[in-house]
């Protein structure tokens, strides 16, 4: 539902924008970046336009940017039916950086601050969703990449695989001082995408929570659900992740390919967060829920998933979805992670290894998030 809405917004915006002759507001600067030119081309160095900060803007030198599976879905146009990719595409929405300039009306930030930018860079600030701090569901939400660029600097927004970005201060986050920066970048998407539904579901002491898929999102879900005080069980298809899952905070780990390990847990979960990026049978996980239990999808596979009515009606179970989180909640999540010293487990790479990183991400060969060190772009 949310994705369909998103698609309408993105498509409507694209039609409204004259892509050949955008109305550029103010001065434009060039920034080094990595982009793909089609769904089958590799990332290559390029130069993109970034606007000169306007009154409410914060200009940020990007230090680290995580690689989310959504970057890969988008770069390869896997979500074409709901959100077609406009090329060239510069993904990246797990951004941590340093403020290099602020506009005259900026009040929250100053030069030198360490800040974050996640998946959102704009919204209309007037609709019911914005009023409820749910900017991610605003009909005019502007996403960090592949969204119509309201400023007209480029046909679409360009993300964090770049040396700098300019963002309205209302979409810039404060980073707790105790967190290591390379490992903090993934909180801006993987962190909030798991924190928000866990919080909404009332996860805490006395609740049994399942996390399906131990990738970038899943491993953050484990850490956050554990810090919220829940009993955490991981479902993984990868035998090589079992010990890690325990180290990350899981009370128990189930190899989901083994029915004998699944069986004893049937009907026992209060809440399950599904973080899987590819086709899989969600009916197996719905059968794990207790009566009135809820399974929330955050993973966004390319193709529709099949749901049997009997998976839901038998125990009055609920199937729902959730997309990132609003800005206020993202700040709460960062503060929560600061208090609990939670960051992502990252493998730091130079931008020159981004193509190899995508291949490894597809194979599940990353523990558990790539974080790009943007200093490598300066050496380009």
User: Which region, judged by CB under 6 A, interacts with ligand NAP, from 12-20, 141-149, 276-284, 331-339?
Assistant: 276-284
The interface with ligand NAP within residues 244-263 (CB under 6 A) comprises: none
Report, in this order, helix, strand and coil percent for the chain, each rounded to 5.
30, 25, 45
- Give which of ligand NAP, Zn ion, none residue 338 binds (C-beta under 5 to 8 Å, depending on kind): none
* Rounded-to-integer distance, Cα 267 and Cα 276, Å: 21
Give residues with Cβ within 8 angstroms of 332, minimum separation 6.
195
Q: Minimum distance from CB of 242 to ligand NAP (Å)?
A: 9
* Rounded-to-integer distance, Cα 371 and Cα 182, Å: 6
The secondary structure of residue 162, as a DSSP letter, is B
Residue given tokens 């539902």 in the structure block? 1
Contacts with Zn ion by CB under 5 A: the residue count is 3
**Binds Zn ion (CB under 5 A): choice among 46, 70, 146, 184:** 70
Beta carbon nearer to ligand NAP, 68 or 198: 68
Estimate to the nearest angstrom the gap between the alpha carbon of 325 and the chain centroid: 9
* Token pair of 232 as six digits: 């955490």
**Binds Zn ion (CB under 5 A): choice among 31, 33, 63, 68:** 68
The interface with ligand NAP within residues 195-234 (CB under 6 A) comprises: 213-218
* Rounded-to-integer distance, Cα 96 and Cα 93, Å: 9
The interface with ligand NAP within residues 41-70 (CB under 6 A) comprises: 68-70
Contacts with ligand NAP by CB under 6 A: the residue count is 30
* Token pair of 170 as six digits: 């209302």
Strands 28-35 and 114-117: unpaired
Beta carbon nearer to Zn ion, 75 or 189: 189
Q: C-alpha dihedral over 151, 103, 375, 156, to 10 degrees?
A: -10
Cβ burial, residue 5 (10 Å; 0-12/13-18/19+)? middle
Asked if 324 is part of the footprint of ligand NAP (rule: CB under 6 A), the reply reads yes
> Is the separation of the CB atoms in 101 and 61 below 8 Å?
no
Q: Minimum distance from CB of 106 to ligand NAP (Å)?
A: 28
User: Which region, judged by CB under 6 A, interacts with ligand NAP, from 125-133, 237-245, 262-270, 307-315?
Assistant: 237-245
Beta carbon nearer to Zn ion, 122 or 159: 159
Binding mask 291-320 for ligand NAP (x = CB under 6 A): -------xxxx-------------------
* Rounded-to-integer distance, Cα 345 and Cα 367, Å: 6
User: Which region, judged by CB under 5 A, interacts with Zn ion, from 63-71, 278-286, 349-357, 364-372?
Assistant: 63-71
**Binds ligand NAP (CB under 6 A): choice among 29, 237, 268, 283:** 237
- C-alpha distances (whole Å) from 135 to each of 68, 124, 129 are 20, 8, 6
- With CB atoms as reference, the residue minimizing the distance to ligand NAP is 215
- C-alpha distances (whole Å) from 116 to each of 87, 154, 200, 322 are 25, 22, 23, 21
Beta carbon nearer to ligand NAP, 70 or 343: 70
Beta carbon nearer to Zn ion, 70 or 162: 70
Tally DSSP H helices, then E strands, for the chain. 13, 17
Q: Minimum distance from CB of 180 to ligand NAP (Å)?
A: 20
- Give which of Zn ion, ligand NAP, none residue 278 binds (C-beta under 5 to 8 Å, depending on kind): ligand NAP
Beta carbon nearer to Zn ion, 164 or 344: 344
* Rounded-to-integer distance, Cα 54 and Cα 11, Å: 26
- Give which of ligand NAP, Zn ion, none residue 275 binds (C-beta under 5 to 8 Å, depending on kind): ligand NAP
> Is the separation of the CB atoms in 75 and 190 below 8 Å?
no
Beta carbon nearer to ligand NAP, 237 or 355: 237
The secondary structure of residue 179, as a DSSP letter, is S
Query: Taking Cα atoms as reference points, which of 243, 219, 239, 222 lies closest to residue 231?
Result: 222
Query: Taking Cα atoms as reference points, which of 120, 91, 145, 116 lies closest to residue 355?
Result: 91
**Binds ligand NAP (CB under 6 A): choice among 189, 342, 351, 374:** 189
The interface with Zn ion within residues 174-233 (CB under 5 A) comprises: 189
Enumerate binding residues for ligand NAP (CB under 6 A): 68-70, 73, 189, 193, 213-218, 236-238, 241, 275-278, 280, 298-301, 322-324, 361, 364
Enumerate binding residues for Zn ion (CB under 5 A): 68, 70, 189
């Amino acid at each position: 539902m949310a994705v369909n809405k998103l698609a309408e917004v993105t498509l409507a915006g694209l039609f409204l924008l004259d892509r050949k002759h955008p109305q550029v507001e103010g001065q434009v600067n060039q920034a080094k970046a990595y982009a793909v030119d089609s769904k089958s081309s590799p990332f290559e160095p390029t130069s993109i336009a970034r606007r000169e900060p306007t009154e409410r803007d914060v200009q940020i030198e990007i230090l680290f940017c995580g690689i989310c599976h959504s970057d890969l879905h988008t770069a390869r146009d896997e979500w074409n039916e709901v959100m077609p990719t406009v090329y060239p595409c510069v993904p990246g929405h797990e951004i941590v950086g340093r403020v290099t300039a602020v506009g005259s009306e900026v009040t929250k930030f100053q030069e030198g601050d360490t800040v974050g930018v996640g998946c959102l860079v704009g919204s209309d600030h007037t609709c019911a969703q914005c009023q409820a701090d749910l900017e991610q569901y605003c009909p005019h939400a502007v996403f960090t990449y592949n969204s119509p660029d309201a400023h007209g600097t480029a046909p679409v927004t360009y993300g964090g695989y770049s040396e700098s970005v300019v963002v309205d201060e209302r979409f810039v986050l404060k980073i707790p001082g105790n967190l290591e920066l390379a490992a903090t970048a993934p909180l801006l998407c993987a962190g909030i995408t798991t924190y928000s539904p866990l919080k909404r579901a009332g996860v805490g002491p006395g609740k049994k929570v399942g996390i399906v898929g131990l990738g970038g999102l899943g491993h953050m879900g484990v850490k956050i659900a554990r810090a919220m005080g829940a009993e955490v069980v991981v479902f993984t298809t990868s035998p090589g992740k079992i010990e890690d899952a325990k180290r990350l905070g899981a009370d128990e780990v189930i190899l989901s390919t083994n029915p004998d390990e699944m069986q004893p847990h049937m009907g026992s979960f209060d809440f399950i967060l599904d973080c899987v990026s590819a086709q899989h049978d969600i009916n197996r996980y719905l059968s794990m829920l207790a009566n009135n239990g809820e399974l929330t999808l955050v993973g966004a596979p390319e193709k529709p998933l099949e749901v049997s009515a009997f998976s839901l009606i038998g125990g009055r179970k609920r199937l729902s979805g959730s997309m990132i989180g609003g800005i206020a909640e993202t700040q709460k999540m960062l503060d929560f992670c600061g208090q609990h010293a939670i960051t992502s487990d990252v493998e730091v790479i130079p931008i020159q290894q981004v193509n190899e990183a995508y291949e490894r991400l597809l194979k599940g060969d990353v523990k558990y998030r790539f974080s790009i060190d943007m200093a490598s772009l300066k050496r380009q």
